[in-house]
Structure 1
Amino acid sequence: MNKFWIMVAHTYFRKIKTKSFIITTLLTVLILYGLSNITTIIDTFSKDDGPKTFAVLDQTENLYPVFERNLDSSKVPIEVEKSTASESELKKQVIEEELDGFIILALDGNQFPTATVKTLSITNQEVFTQIEQVLQQTKLGIGKERLGIESNELTQLFQPVEVNKVALENNAKSEEELNQARGLVYVLLFVIYFSVIFYASMIATEVATEKSSRVMEILISSVSPVKQMFAKLIGIGLVSITQMVIILVGGYLSVRSQFENLNTLTGGFLGFTELPLSTFIYAGIYFLLGYFLFATLAAFLGSLVSRIEDAQQLISPMIFLIIGAFMIAMFGLSNPDTTFITISSYIPFFTPMIMFLRVGMLNIPSWEIGLSIALLLASITLLAIFGARVYKGGVLIYGKSSSFKDLKRALMMSKDK
């Protein structure tokens, strides 16, 4: 057992000291910081940019005052000035960058306002959106006067209708709880998806690399192949936990100052304050079970090959399984109680993602949760037993190989040992 933990420690410390681990972790934390503070970063670089300046040609001779008034009330960073110059003269000023552009106001066939906005390029969509919003307000004002509708009546007319949602099921989740559960499930689905793909691939590559360097021949003389396999699973599992903790702590510190604003803007989507502790416990359980399920599968698949490129090819069906589970889970976020989602949640390779989706979004009986965990544990046990046999013989197979036919060969060699 002492040799087993030596191998676990060796795998763990060797991986966390690699440049790829350090760079990936730091880069991920920096990306999270950038995404969570994107508004501040953009404002920092654009704080010296003044408001856009536009000239206005009013072909109706009546629209400009209303348009200007609505523009001022909207507080958008655009300054306008009525012009009597010709289009060719204004075009020249835009090309010489004396103006950011010019706007031509006119009326359509129904006598409602339209605008033609001419700038050097149309890449800055924000400007066009702002002008469109101001023009829409101008159109509403004209329509209100034409129909004789008061402002408060118009506001009431466009106010969204109220729909009260009432769940009759006992202990049904409220809308706020559902929003927060959906947010947690959404985040965890991505965590499971990327971590399983990345770390399971790491395990398969690790085994193939050791075989290609003939290190395996030295290792199996002192430690059994089965101990090697589980030492790698636990060692790289600890690496994944270490990296996840660093990323999560870094991500939390990045958004902590803006957490209240983010929670308000997302309607409680990122709050997590209404979720029971059991939801977070199940999140950890399904994450760990999902990791060991796919990591065990990747370990014995990696033992069949001795080249990294062959390992990537051989584990591609496993990657497709993970992608399939992720796509089903994304569909289930909007409708988690369909029969298809329920059945999929009991398929072991889909269970970590889809059953947690159901646990987070629905009030399902305890026996269903227990059954899913039991199925996962049974699948991991069977896969570990079968995988240990394949690994035991597979580590002695060298040469080019990317075929599942080598499974039989590995099993035969494990019997001879």
Structure 2
Amino acid sequence: MREFWIIFKQSFLTKAKTKSFFITTLIMVAGIFLFANLPSIIDKVGKMMGSEEDDRVLVVDESGVLFDRLLEQLQQNEQGISLELTEKTQDQLSEKVKSEEIEAFMELSFDAEQTIHASYTTGSLVEQSLPSALQDALQNIQTEVKADQLALSGEQVSELFAPIQFEKHNISETAKSEEELNQARVLVYVLMFVIYFAVIIYSSMIATEVATEKSSRVMEILISSVSPVKHMFAKVLGIGSLGIVQILVYAVSGFLAYTLSSAGEKNELSAFFSLENLEVSTLVYAVIFFLLGYFLYATLAALLGSLVSRTEDVQQMIMPMSLLIVAAFIIAATGLGNPELGYLKIASFIPFFAPLVMFLRVGMLDLPLWEPLLSIGIMVVTIFILGWFGAKVYRGGVLMYGPSRSLKDLKKAIQLGKE
């Protein structure tokens, strides 16, 4: 057991002390704080760049009445758009737009049936919020004009445009309220990304570490004093522990960033990531499926890494494993809109898909307890089987050198391990 903990400690500390690990962690923590405070940063940059000024639009009003009504409508809605009445020609205004003296200009008129005609000219139609705001304001004016033509009172107009009463009810035992479902969807989406990237990054790290030791011939010295099986699981647990520590650092940073960004006035970001209705069970399942998913793929990665002699061949060897986790993420992502789809239920019991798909279902639906427990049980059994088979392959694979022939080397590694 002493040899196991020596390799465990070596795997953990070697990676933890590297500059790349420290810099990556620091960049990620900085990115988390940057993202959490992005709205306030954008506002401050906008003020520095002068973009807080109202958008300036010149208006040619051929009707003689629309400009004042439009200006009043925008002021009521606090749109932040600056209108200026002008009598310049279309050619003169076009030149001002080209020289970027003004954002845009608009020509307004009435036809014989008192229908508003508006022509909006700008240098680029990429910006959609400004013309959309003007169009909405003019649509309100058009409604008022038509109401006057039909001699409708304000109350009659309000009745005419009164929204319908549309209520949503569910009688499904596995359904949550709409508010709970939206918040669960956001949380599940974030945690799915965490599980997905963690499994890919740390599994690849294990495979690369094993291949590096083989290429430097260090492996031959190690297995003379410790069994290959102990070596494999020490690697898996050592790098896994490092990954958990790194994720905890990210989680604490994310919590602090979220708290600081939400300490003052509520913004769109804090509302989007609201944790008011967060269920503790969702976080518990996130931890369980993360650990099970990691050990499942990490054991497979150690197995595949033992078959290659050069670090350059690692990515090619673990490509099938990477495709499995990518497929799991795609399947889970398609269920964010409707987690009750039939194929999601089937995929949630397939061990290589379960860490993401079952977590999606258990996070967004009120499932009977037997479903997540069955999925967890299947994953645990799969990990033991994969560990038993992986130990056989690893025992011979670490002694194999020469060019890799992908998965064809499995049989040779098992035979070598028996010898």
- Matched residues in 2 for 1:262 and 1:298: separation? 47
Q: What aligned pairs does 1:177-326 form with structure 2 within 5 A after superposition? A: 177-259=180-262, 270-326=273-329
Cα gap change, 1:67 to 1:176, in 2 (>3 Å): closer
TM-score, normalised to structure 1's length? Answer: 0.90
Is 2:350 aligned against 1:347? yes
**Contact 2:36/2:269 (CA < 8 Å) preserved in 1?**
no
1:177-200 Cα distance to aligned partner (Å, 9 max, x none): 333332322221111111111111
Structure 1 position 268, deviation (Å): 7.2
Is 2:412 aligned against 1:414? no
- Show the counterpart of 2:36: 36
- Matched residues in 1 for 2:116 and 2:260: separation? 43
**Contact 1:7/1:231 (CA < 8 Å) preserved in 2?**
yes
Structure 1 position 358, deviation (Å): 2.0
- Show the counterpart of 1:77: 80
Paired residue secondary structure (1:116)? strand
TM-score, normalised to structure 2's length? Answer: 0.90
Superposed CA RMSD: 2.7
- Show the counterpart of 1:59: 62
Amino acid at match of 2:188: V
Comparing 274-283 and 294-303, the one that deviates more? 274-283
- Matched residues in 2 for 1:267 and 1:43: separation? 16
**Contact 1:182/1:269 (CA < 8 Å) preserved in 2?**
no
Q: What aligned pairs does 1:307-386 form with structure 2 within 5 A after superposition? A: 307-386=310-389
- Show the counterpart of 1:6: 6
**Contact 1:192/1:353 (CA < 8 Å) preserved in 2?**
yes
Paired residue secondary structure (1:98)? coil
**Contact 1:355/1:372 (CA < 8 Å) preserved in 2?**
yes
Cα gap change, 1:89 to 1:4, in 2 (>3 Å): same
Paired residue secondary structure (1:300)? helix
Amino acid at match of 1:381: F
- Show the counterpart of 1:16: 16
- Show the counterpart of 1:27: 27
- Unpaired segments of 5 or more residues in structure 1? none
Structure 1 position 404, deviation (Å): 0.7
- Matched residues in 2 for 1:308 and 1:156: separation? 72
- Matched residues in 2 for 1:149 and 1:187: separation? 51
**Contact 2:57/2:104 (CA < 8 Å) preserved in 1?**
yes
Q: What aligned pairs does 1:80-159 form with structure 2 within 5 A after superposition? A: 80-107=83-110, 111-151=114-154, 153-155=156-158, 158=161
Structure 1 position 58, deviation (Å): 2.0
Amino acid at match of 2:97: V
- Matched residues in 2 for 1:164 and 1:358: separation? 25
- Matched residues in 2 for 1:159 and 1:373: separation? 51
Structure 1 position 387, deviation (Å): 0.7
Structure 1 position 252, deviation (Å): 1.7
- Matched residues in 1 for 2:393 and 2:176: separation? 46
Comparing 76-85 and 357-366, the one that deviates more? 357-366
Amino acid at match of 1:128: P
Is 2:393 aligned against 1:390? yes
Structure 1 position 377, deviation (Å): 0.6
- Matched residues in 2 for 1:315 and 1:190: separation? 20
Structure 1 position 311, deviation (Å): 1.1
Q: How much identity, in percent, do the aligned residues show? A: 46
Comparing 256-265 and 245-254, the one that deviates more? 256-265
Q: When the two structures are aligned, how many residues end up with a matched partner?
A: 416
Comparing 271-280 and 34-43, the one that deviates more? 271-280
Amino acid at match of 2:375: S
**Contact 2:192/2:356 (CA < 8 Å) preserved in 1?**
yes
